[in-house]
Structure 1
């Protein structure tokens, strides 16, 4: 193997939790998703290699990616002055910040959290030093909104490093006498107290809780961060920083995280400029058409209006076991050169069709008044390559995009799909193509909807998709090493303020967990009580998992893999043409 291949094989194995990776294997073929690809990009940069997220996801093998990798040239001399990107001062509101403000509810303690194992002997002074390093490195953790989200854009500010002290933000709890079984409940109680102390108005975006168990046992460290400053990708960055900072501190050095190449404030400025660019304005008609009302309940468009807040009562959690999750998240995307989102959204669209055919549509049971069309608001990680030269692999912040996708399955037999028949493969190919047609993974919708005064009002009047979908990626669980996620705690799930209205009538948040027994898919369904009865949402959730089990079975069928039009360079070829060609080729062989 070449030096580049060796480095990338090691990084793939680290990120994907595999014992080894061979040069002929591909990232997506091993089950990697776009969020994990960002981790590869970040760690490759630290190893002196430059690759993009797109290259990681699209390269057919490690060898191909290694051939495309560039040596990091940041240390080379450059002619002429270089203006550093802006880090401090006023922060331009991003689309997701505007989105949150439109929910018109309490958001002072809206947060995500992470609980990790700490090394034996890790104490309060060490915790303060590590948290201070995070605060000084990642600017948005010092964000201040003195007048809240409703304030004018210049009111949001990022002060310089050193202006926020970790000493006042870290709570240390003596947990020397607590058992392993008692730790989760003990930590949750202290995290509730930490959550209540968050305050964007006062610049308190982060609180930390250390359960100190002495010199001989692992403790626990919780980071509770306001959602305005963190997202699912950010947690992976912060977790890596905790590891590297502790390694430095343990060796007697200062805990200094690796540098951030593109500051969040600079990114926010670029989004403001991009929102009125010609290429984004050209998308406006497309998004307007996507949001045209569909004549069917659920997965259509609902009129703007208040929804009930999320409650534990209106929550349904399902877990797909390893025997289905493994092939679903690794083999199924490869059938169409696709992604995990292609697979999960195919199952969701088919489940909605069956749900509507049960008699909840405008027509009689067995028919679909929407003609096989399903509208879904999809969340993405938002770290898209909209401007050349950016590197967001080390930037902490809330980058999430929310954009509508109309999935057109056409005349479909859901019963055949549920039985893992040909209809399932046809649906998977159509959904993949619908998602590939979305420009720049949907980042333009939020720009036009929230940052463009010409296009925003018209898109707002179109309404909001009834159902929201978010796949958070894969998370390693059950690892007992220091700085790994601690058992008994959720990872990167939103914790909303009491009384905050839901954004969608029904929301699905899914994540894959890699535990000692294998890979599982965990899905949390929530719904507004004034939108749909719980019995109907639970029925939809169960139908979704039925379709996902069918997709897992479908991966083992001969001839399940197939090309789609976006896989070939011929501009006018259709899916029917490709299917016919592959059928004829199969007969010849």
Structure 2
């Protein structure tokens, strides 16, 4: 099924867009290029940080609602901002975004299946021109960052599945994509899970105890990225808990550098939560109106007009 899909005219037509998205070789993020013979699972290190519960509640609730996006968009936007602040030369970066892989494909019926199939595709995230210090302080640039990344995520060709289909299952297009640059950063929003105070209050879907997400991996498996960003939301009786994690091969990045990046990501999240409480925060983006050809400034103008009309009617 997938091999057949990879050679269809519709999928092959996506190739120029994917090549354009990959662009040119990017500056190294680590000390050297990733070596999949040396930088294996055995060498990986990880560090996690918890977002304060009052901020987590805003970020997984009010923020996505105001910006008409997903929790993953907000998390990815702040990670992109953190990387751009941490490495200014990395303001435009490829990021491999991992997803559940359950997008509709042909006449395949997924209704009697459970769990993730897992898919991944690169996204070009560019935070050039955004005042990242203002994002950290909770200013309007935090909203601009979310809107920019939201649109960049939605700008990938088709449903995003085409990249791996063309890269690995089409012998003609595969070498073309292989010749392009590979993302040095990966991102995965693991989702939102219920926790229970006791065995008697188990939920249909929840974490198995206090164990970390994911299973065991053979130590010789090659690392896919110089840096991986993960995020997970746990719903508890006291409210949502948001945890962010960075994973990296030990020979490529110093732990101190990763600590700096992680804390910058936290500050970006803090700033976005603070901005969300501003009455002017939020709004739509062009992808919310897929039948219209609009730019962001036009969307902003229409929303400003609508707000004035609504204010006049309320008086």
- TM-score, L = length of structure 2: 0.88
Q: Determine the C-alpha separation between the residues in 1 that align with 2:120 and 2:174.
A: 14
Shift of 1:540: 1.0
1:489 and 2:208 are equivalent in the alignment: no
1:477 equivalent to 2:208? Answer no
Pick aligned residue for 1:382 from 101, 104, 123 = 101
- Paired residue secondary structure (1:577): helix
Q: Distance in 2 between matches of 1:397 and 1:511?
A: 16
Paired residue secondary structure (2:258): helix
Residue 159 of structure 2 is aligned to residue 428 of structure 1: no
Does residue 310 in structure 1 map to residue 41 in structure 2? yes
Instruction: Please name the residue that 1:335 is paired with.
Output: 66
Asked whether the 8 Å contact 1:376–1:467 carries over to 2, the reply is: yes
1:445–1:499 Cα change, 3 Å: same
Alpha carbons 2:43, 2:249 under 8 Å: kept: no
Following superposition, the deviation at residue 407 of structure 1 comes to: 1.4
Q: Which residue of 2 aligns with 1:28?
A: none
Any residues of structure 2 matched to 1:267-416 within 5 Å, and which? 270-298=1-29, 305-311=36-42, 314-357=45-88, 361=89, 372-388=91-107, 390-396=108-114, 399-416=117-134
Shift of residue 408, structure 1, vs aligned partner: 2.4
Let me know the Cα RMSD of the aligned residues: 2.4
Whether the 8 Å CA contact 2:102–2:116 is kept in 1: the answer is no
Provide the C-alpha distance between the structure 1 equivalents of 2:291 and 2:169, rounded to a whole number of angstroms: 36
Q: Distance in 2 between matches of 1:307 and 1:279?
A: 38
Which residue in the other structure is 1:506 paired with?
Answer: 227
Cα-to-partner distance string for 1:187-232 (whole Å, 9 max, x where unaligned): xxxxxxxxxxxxxxxxxxxxxxxxxxxxxxxxxxxxxxxxxxxxxx
Mapping 1:120-269, distance limit 5 Å: none
Q: Confirm or deny: 8 A CA contact 2:18 2:157 kept in the other structure.
A: no
Uncovered stretches (5+) of structure 1, i.e. residues with no partner: 1-269, 362-369
* CA displacement, residues 227-259 of structure 1 (integer Å, 9 cap, x when unaligned): xxxxxxxxxxxxxxxxxxxxxxxxxxxxxxxxx
* CA distance, structure 1, for counterparts of residue 177 and residue 233 of structure 2: 33
Q: How far apart, in 2, do the equivalents of 1:543 and 1:463 lie?
A: 26
Q: Deviations over 1:317-369 (max 9, x none)?
A: 11112111111011111122111121111101110111013xxx4xxxxxxxx
Give the Å deviation of 1:481: 3.9
User: Deviation digits for residues 151-203 of structure 1, max 9, x if unmatched?
Assistant: xxxxxxxxxxxxxxxxxxxxxxxxxxxxxxxxxxxxxxxxxxxxxxxxxxxxx
Q: How many residues align?
A: 305
1:6 maps to what in 2?
Answer: none
Q: Which has the larger radius of gyration?
A: 1
- Cα 1:302–1:397 change in 2 (3 A) is farther
RCO higher in 1 or 2 (8 Å CA, sep ≥ 6)? 2
**Deviation of residue 309 (structure 1)?**
2.2
Please list the CA deviations of residues 520-562 of structure 1 after superposition, one character each: whole Å capped at 9, or x if unmatched.
1122211012322221122111111111111112221112121
1:506 touches 1:527 (CA, 8 Å); kept in 2?
A: yes
Match of 1:553 among 274, 286, 291: 274
Alpha-carbon distance between aligned partners in 1 of 2:135 and 2:250, rounded to the nearest angstrom: 31
- Pairwise CA distance, 1:486: 4.3
Q: Distance in 1 between matches of 2:137 and 2:308?
A: 25
1:279 counterpart SS class: helix
Cα shift at 1:440: 4.4
Q: CA deviation at 1:460?
A: 1.4
> Does 2:139 correspond to 1:418?
no
* 1:577 equivalent in alignment to 2:287: no
What is aligned with 1:242?
Answer: none
For the 8 Å contact 2:44–2:248, the answer to whether it is kept is no
